[in-house]
Amino acid sequence: MDVGGKFGQSFVGRISAINLSTLEWAFGRHGDIVVALVGIVTGLMFVLLFVTQRKKLRLPQGPRSLPIIGNIHQLGNNAHTFLWKEAKKYGPIMYLRLGSEGLVVASSAEVALEFLKVQDKVWAGRESSTGMDMFTYNHLDIVGAPYGPYWLHLRKICTMELFTTKRLESFRPPRTDEFNQMIKSIMDDVEQGKIVDLAVKLGHVAMNNITRMLLNKRFYGLDASAQHQAYKFQELTSDLPNLATTRSMGDFVPWLKWVIIVSGLKSRMMKVKARADVLLQEFLEVKKNRKIINVKNDDVHYEDFVDVLMAQPAQDGTGHLSDNSIKAVILDMLVAGTDTVSITLEWAIAELLCHPHCAKELQAELDEVVGKDRIVTESDIPNLPYLNAVLKEVLRLYPPLPLNVTHVALEDTTVGGFDFVAGCLQVSVAQIFV
Ligand code: HEM
Ligand SMILES: *[C@@H]1O[C@H](CO)[C@@H](O)[C@H](O)[C@H]1NC(C)=O
Ligand SMILES: *[C@@H]1O[C@H](CO)[C@@H](O)[C@H](O)[C@H]1NC(C)=O
């Protein structure tokens, strides 16, 4: 299945969580003054600190870094491409600096295996940032919780209750419904000679797919439940994923933490977080009340993720998972499970349009396996190797989370003869290639 070569220049690689446009913004507007002032004072100090650290530790090589900001300025919009190129020079374990944090980039299967499998418990910490701390209710979610009893508890709920084959299968009808509604709306647009805005449609399907699973609600399209709520929800989710994953200069350089406040970023985050909290709490309260009514009316209650979460005990095995934990997990899935999916599909269509011979081959496979009389379904997927290859290639070329979710060493460790320290000034963050 040689889709790889056909999609032109191939590249791999990805790292941590920075919204570079925001970095630029925070840095560009207020940063020049900031850097001028703080730079003079701390530049020398930092270089000294860095040099002494380098002496003690055997660190991997990496591209030259500037004082204070390190390599942040080099990452640009296509960080994974930059890292892929640099890794060719510096090898499968490469070291960069993002402000005062160290960044380790793993770029081969063996090295990835060492970080993520052999040493998975060592590299099971998560980075801290203003957005991450705020939107995860201080790491009460799945993505942001460090390895430990709490994360294990959530993980167990996920594997035993949420992401079971049976549960995911029970959400197949709403998923299929969303899919069919999208196809219909595309056909309608085509019939009316309208331009099809696929990005918008894919975004809506991805969001409805997740919210029907989470809350048994859809917030986009016709008959979206409770229009007023839908409006509030749409307003919220337009800012949410970006803000929650934004890391600004102040997150990387402790002395510049105040930039997050001065630039207004923190207050924007706080506003959106407050809106999210109110809306999510409303959902929880409705569910708490409905439970009582249901018991009375002997209704069959359609069980969604939030119902399941609300029925789980807290970490110590007693009582219930706290509202904050549940809200953190909901936010996780809204952030992790929507844009990732729709952006990947958008790139897939874009690449297929640019490579008609691949599109033709894919169409031929679909015609042969599915035929022209019905719509493709989830159960067809294992029988569509070319489709699978196309999607893997798209994820390789356009990883939707190139620098967003990283691993932090919880204790000092050695990988490939190099030393990495936990905590202190130099937090080591590893991100592995796809
Ligand atoms: C194309 C689609 C997706 C991509 C590319 C993607 C990518 C990722 C990546 C790179 C990570 C970090 C893994 C690591 O720790 O090294 C992650 C974690 C996670 N993703 Fe996704 N994801 C996708 C879809 C989804 C969906 C649909 C959901 C759920 C509704 C989801 C929920 C999560 C959660 C809960 C974690 C945290 C796991 C943990 O920390 O234990 N993701 N994802
Ligand atoms: C990941 O980070 C980039 C900036 O590095 C940001 O633009 C993007 O929205 C983030 N992706 C997701 C899915 O949160
Ligand atoms: C719908 O959600 C499921 C479960 O998280 C996921 O596997 C699937 O990719 C999603 N589909 C779309 C179109 O978003």
Percent residues over pLDDT 90 in the chain: 51
- Residue 348 is predicted with a pLDDT of 97
Nearest to 407 by CA among 75, 131, 58, 115: 115
- Residue 142 Cα to ligand 1 midpoint, Å, equals 10
- Residue 334 is predicted with a pLDDT of 93
**Can you read off the two tokens belonging to residue 182?**
């999208």
Average pLDDT estimate for 329-347: 94
- Say yes or no to pLDDT of 410 above 80: yes
Pocket test for ligand 3, best of 143, 170, 175, 202 (most atoms within 8 A of CB): 175
Q: Is 405 in the pocket of ligand 1 (CB under 6 A)?
A: yes
- Residue 123 Cα to ligand 2 midpoint, Å, equals 22
Contact yes or no for 431/46 (Cβ under 8 A): no
- Residue 16 Cα to ligand 1 midpoint, Å, equals 14
**Can you read off the two tokens belonging to residue 214?**
């989470």
- Residue 380 is predicted with a pLDDT of 96
Q: Is 147 in the pocket of ligand 1 (CB under 6 A)?
A: no
**Can you read off the two tokens belonging to residue 213?**
């699973």
- Residue 6 is predicted with a pLDDT of 33
Distance CA 284, CA 277 (A): 10
Q: Give the global pTM.
A: 0.83
- Residue 222 is predicted with a pLDDT of 66
Atom 5 of ligand 2, residue of closest alpha carbon: 19
Which phi and psi (to 5°) does residue 66 adopt?
-90, 155
Q: Is 343 in the pocket of ligand 1 (CB under 6 A)?
A: no
Given pLDDT bands bounded at 50, 70 and 90, which one contains residue 224?
Answer: low
- Residue 307 is predicted with a pLDDT of 95
C-alpha distances out from residue 348 to 5, 200, 384, Å: 15, 15, 15
- Say yes or no to pLDDT of 385 above 90: yes
- Residue 255 is predicted with a pLDDT of 87
Q: Is 341 in the pocket of ligand 3 (CB under 6 A)?
A: yes
- Say yes or no to pLDDT of 189 above 80: yes
Given pLDDT bands bounded at 50, 70 and 90, which one contains residue 229?
Answer: confident
C-alpha distances out from residue 426 to 112, 252, 417, Å: 21, 11, 18
Q: Is 214 in the pocket of ligand 1 (CB under 6 A)?
A: no
Q: Which amino acid, residue 383? A: N
18-42 pLDDT, tens per residue?
A: 333 333 333 333 344 333 333 444 3
- Residue 247 Cα to ligand 2 midpoint, Å, equals 10
- Residue 395 Cα to ligand 2 midpoint, Å, equals 15
Q: Is 111 in the pocket of ligand 1 (CB under 6 A)?
A: no
Q: How many Cβ atoms from other residues are within 10 Å of residue 291's Cβ?
A: 14
- Tokens 């040689």 map to which residue? 2
- Say yes or no to pLDDT of 51 above 60: no
